[in-house]
Chains A and B, each alone.
Chain A
Amino acid sequence: MANILEAKKVTKRFGGLVAVNAVDFNIPEKSIVSIIGPNGAGKTTFFNCITGFGRPDEGEIIFEGNPIQRLRPDQITRLGISRTYQNIRLFADMTALENILVGEHSFLHSSWISSVLGLPGVIHEEKTALAEAQRLLDFIGLRGKGDMLARNLPYGAQRRLEIARALATRPKLLLLDEPSAGMNPRESEDLTGFIHRLRDELGITILLIEHHMRVVMGISEAVTVLDYGEKIAEGTPAEIQSNPRVIEAYLGRGAATEGMATAHERFTGIKKSN
């Protein structure tokens, strides 16, 4: 399988702090890949490097064969990378439908003059865009809630709306930053199914940051672990769960020498109750 995204020696510094340190990272096409790591490990910073929010100081990010590390966020989005945010960042005072329509922005081409004149092309384009937004709204199960302000939607619906807005940019690669944060076990189970649907039905490659180990282990085809900005492990979920360095990163040095079995139990156990 070809890689849709390849990160080579990506480094990002904030003053003296090295937030991401020479990380190599590949995402195979149409896969579901996760990044995990303790708080402050540089996961979100790495996301920001990919989406153009913060340019990497060193290294290369190659998306479908083209380097993108010097592009602006809007250009990267137009190439086919979209994301959601750890703390939901919807346009709170716009309606659900408008939020999705903003996501479609780069596929609409009418100039402001033709909009003012109300040319037939514009009217047609708006109609199509609205239909598409409505379809996405149905897809995430918010049919009929289109006219509600985003701020007035329940928490879970806001999470899904954010994904719908990201989908409206027609991404090939979707970056989800802790999508299951604040969800109960049932909701995160639904989410797992939903993410599978994104990949299977829409053919979108998914990169996740996740803290819920149950979600990570259940969904990912490959997991990468960051700690203090460095990649400390990579592999299938099963490999990661038994990797001593990962357990050490999460539970401290003592845990690794304590014996694998108990440590493993504690690792997954603690994460479950998280």
Chain B
Amino acid sequence: MKKENFIWNAVKMGLLGGAIAIFICLVGMTEIFSKRDVIEKVITLGQFVLLTTIMAMGFIASRRTSDLFGENRPVMNLTAGLVAGLVTGLILALFVFIGLHVNLRTVFLNASPPLYKLLTFGKGEGNIWPLPLIGAGGGMVGAAFLLLPAIYRGPLTRALLFSFFMALFSGLFRVVMINQKGGIAKAAKYLFGQTGLTWAGTFIFFFTVLIIAFLWNFRGKEIQAGISRLPKRGQLSLRILVFLIILYIAIGLPTVSGPFIAQVIVTVALFILMGLGLNITLGFAGLLDLGFVAFYAIGAYTVGLLTSYGPFGLQHISFWVAVPIAVLVAMMFGAILGLPVLGVRGDYLAIATLGFGEIVRLLAGSDFLAKYFGGPQGIIGIQKPCIGTLAPFVKVDVPRVCNGIELGTVQTIYYVAIASALLIAFVAWRLRESRLGRAWMAIREDEDVAEALGINLIQTKLLAYMLGAAFAGLGGAIFATLIGSIFATSMQLIVSINVVALIVVGGMGSIPGVIVGAIALIGLPELLREVSEFRYLIYGLVLIIMMLARPEGLWPSSAAKRELHHADAENVTAESMV
């Protein structure tokens, strides 16, 4: 009876895998990803994604089998994996067979001849039989993975993930390393091919991580104990050393990596600023704001109007003077938004703030206010930050000359962005630990009770809106000087949604969570150009998976962590207190 059960389970997993595989093909992922290699001339990213699906199904089928029997039974497990993979492969083969005889393209744009060519390995119609075979093999490999003892499985997973990570970003590493000339450039050519890892590179990365992870399994505890046994001064200097290394990398990175990576990091830093801002209103005080981009826009436009030498520049003051003003203006608008929505809660608040964001964008881009904000033409000619004095300006429409160091490129504005992000992270942390932070959290938990404990709701909520807006305004100010021009069209609703999403993924109310979320949701898609077409597909998928598997976020706040920690302690204390 059980036997039928597990085979049927495996078939179900195979059907699911087939559906996923066909989906991946039909949305065009397979085709686009095939331009990238994971291992050069061995396996493309497109093939890799399909193979991963098959192996994952094999693994899950295998795990279910173990669950059914209550233990691992290698033969059964492998059979389950084989069946699951085989079914997936068969479905894929069936899909190719149908596709070759029926024109699916009228509905599915991506069901194109190149896709079938890829799936039949370039050999045309008759060649669909490898798919089920590969499926069966892949499924068994996935199933076998479960059978490995945990001590091997952990390091193996890490090594595979790391190699895959290196393969994904191989282009970046290659460019950066080749710029260094000499030995490093040679190493780059050895490790990275044009579109993926070389065989040699794959082996080196895989085995290095495997060995390190394996050793850590045995020796990790000893090393940790060794570090904690060091005298206090030793630990301190170790920490300072780590800090200095990070600082050295952070300072040196933009010059080494070139403008592209610097640009990505600056973008991430700007989103971190916005994320930290929204983290105050949403994460700490629990006030949802779907129009957060408005404050970003206000910061950007303020700097634009104050420093531009273009037709809409009102003043031509230094960037450093304009930034605090922009932050103050953003704060003011935070209060302006906050006042009317003070009594609004929950869903209604989301809609009201959504409206605010759209109003700001539409007004800034409107013909009605075009003589102040440039309308659709936007504001151009925004000054770059200048360390040193600005020469007094002669004519309005000529940029003022910087007598000193001008932070004119992405690589130099990088420092401004990173320093701001760090500063604001510190400010946010201090706020959370303060009396105000506790009041915010109390409001998030229970507004009425918070008020009954002497917290002035109006004042506290307004401060949350204002400080959140201030952080976003700072982000906008840096954005304006980075691009040199601003247009209302760059202040879309999707920016606000991105900010909400990065907070949720990172962990509501957690400051490191904002940073992790920004890197994961903003930085990675920027770096992976091939993926950018499917950005929101993957985005949605990640959000759903996160909400199901890890609702507290990637890096949850200490409160959420404490909760987990105390889940065990709870029983003990409950008994002792009764």
Residues of A bordering B, CB below 8 Å: 51-53, 72-74, 77-78, 82-83, 85, 89, 91-95, 98, 101-103, 105-106, 108, 110, 112, 115-116, 118, 122, 126, 129, 145, 147-149, 151-154, 156-157, 165-166, 168-169
How far, in angstroms, from A251 to B442 measured CA to CA in the complex?
A: 42
Q: Choose one: B431, B441, B452, B577; the contact of A91 (CB below 8 Å).
A: B441
Query: In the bound complex, what is the Cα–Cα distance between A91 and B563 (angstroms)?
Result: 13
B-side contacts of A157, CB under 8 Å: 577
User: Which residue of the partner chain, among B436, B566, B573, contacts A154 with CB atoms under 8 Å?
Assistant: B573
CB-contacts of B392-406 with A (<8 A): none
Q: Which residues of chain A are within 8 angstroms of B452 by Cβ–Cβ distance?
A: 51-53, 73-74, 77, 82-83
Report yes or no: B573 in contact with A74, Cβ–Cβ below 8 A. no
Using Cβ atoms and an 8 Å threshold, which residues of chain B touch A152? 563, 566-567, 569-570, 573
B residues within 8 A CB of A169? 453-454
Say if the beta carbon of B435 comes within 8 Å of chain A. yes
Quick check: A105 and B563 within 8 Å, CB to CB? no
CA–CA, A147 to B570, complex, Å?
A: 12
A122 B566 Cβ-Cβ under 8 A: no
- Indicate if B82 sits at the interface (CB-CB under 8 A): no
A89 x B451 contact (CB < 8 A):
no
Interface check B427, CB cutoff 8 A: yes
Measured between C-beta atoms, what is the minimum distance from A144 to chain B in Å?
A: 9
**With an 8 A cutoff between CB atoms, is B445 at the interface?**
yes
Q: Answer whether A91 and B446 are a contact pair too, CB < 8 Å, given A115-B434, A152-B563.
A: yes
Contact, CB under 8 Å: A78 / B445: no
Q: Is B456 an interface residue (CB 8 A)?
A: yes
B467 at the interface (CB under 8 A from A): yes
Residue pair A112, B566 in contact (C-beta under 8 Å): no
* Beta-carbon nearest neighbor of A108 in chain B: B435
Q: Is B545 among interface residues, defined by CB-CB distance under 8 A?
A: no
B457 at the interface (CB under 8 A from A): yes
The reply to whether B442 and A147 form a contact with Cβ atoms under 8 Å apart is: no
Point out the residue from A73, A98, A151, A156 that lies within 8 Å of B438, measured CB to CB.
A98
Say yes or no: A93 contacts B445, CB within 8 Å: yes
> Cβ of B505 < 8 Å from any Cβ of A?
no
Q: Is the CB of A106 within 8 A of B454?
A: yes
Interface flag for B422 (CB, 8 Å): no
Measured CB to CB, the nearest residue on chain A to B449 is: A89
A116–B427 CB distance below 8 A:
yes
Flag if B450 contacts A110 (CB, 8 Å).
Answer: no
Chain A residues whose C-beta falls within 8 Å of the C-beta of B559 in the assembled complex: 93-95, 149
Complex: A51 Cα to B537 Cα, angstroms: 51
Q: Would you call A91 and B442 a contact (CB within 8 A)?
A: yes
B35 interfacial contact with A, CB 8 Å: no
* Chain B contact surface mostly: helix
- Chain A nearest CB from B278 CB (Å) reads 18
Among candidates B445, B567, B570, residue contacting A94 with C-beta atoms closer than 8 Å: B445
A-B residue pairs in contact (CB < 8 Å), sample of 15: A73-B448, A73-B451, A77-B453, A89-B448, A93-B445, A94-B445, A102-B439, A103-B453, A103-B454, A112-B434, A115-B430, A122-B434, A151-B563, A152-B570, A154-B577
- Contact in complex: A112, B454 (CB < 8 Å): no
Q: Given A89-B446, A154-B573, are A149 and B563 also a contact pair (CB < 8 Å)? A: yes
Whole-angstrom distance between the Cβ of A141 and the nearest chain B Cβ: 9
**CB-contact partner of A115 in B435, B445, B455, B569, under 8 A:** B435
Question: In the complex where A78-B454, A83-B452, A91-B445 touch, is A112 in contact with B431 (Cβ < 8 A)?
Answer: yes
The yes or no answer to B330 lying at the interface (CB within 8 A) is: no
- Chain B residues with CB under 8 A of A52: 452
Q: Which of B21-75 contact A (CB under 8 A)?
A: none
Return the CB mask of B536-578 against A: 1 if under 8 Å, else 0.
0000000000000000000000011011001101100110011
| Additional A-B contacts beyond A74-B452, A149-B562, A153-B573 (6; CB < 8 A) | A51-B452, A53-B452, A72-B456, A74-B457, A94-B559, A115-B430
Flag if A85 contacts B449 (CB, 8 Å).
yes
B431-477 at interface with A (beta carbon < 8 Å) = 431, 433-436, 438-439, 441-442, 445-446, 448-457, 463, 467
Most buried by A among B438, B442, B453: B453
Beta-carbon nearest neighbor of B571 in chain A = A152
CB distance from A226 to the nearest CB of B (A): 22
Chain A, residue nearest B567 (CB):
A152
Residues of A within 8 A of B436 (CB): 112, 115
A224 to chain B, nearest CB (A): 22
**Chain A to chain B: the 7 pairs with minimum beta-carbon distance, closest first:** A115-B434, A106-B454, A91-B445, A77-B454, A73-B451, A152-B570, A102-B442
B563→A116 contact, CB < 8 A: no
- In the bound complex, residues from chain A placing their C-beta under 8 Å from that of B560 are 93
Closest to B434 in A: A115
Q: How far is the CA of A93 from the CA of B559 in the complex (A)?
A: 7
What string of 1s and 0s marks CB contacts (under 8 Å) between B317-336 and chain A?
00000000000000000000
Closest to B452 in A: A73
Q: Are A149 and B435 in contact (CB under 8 A)?
A: no
Instruction: Give chain B nearest CB distance to A152 CB in angstroms.
Output: 4
A156: B residues at CB distance < 8 A: 577-578
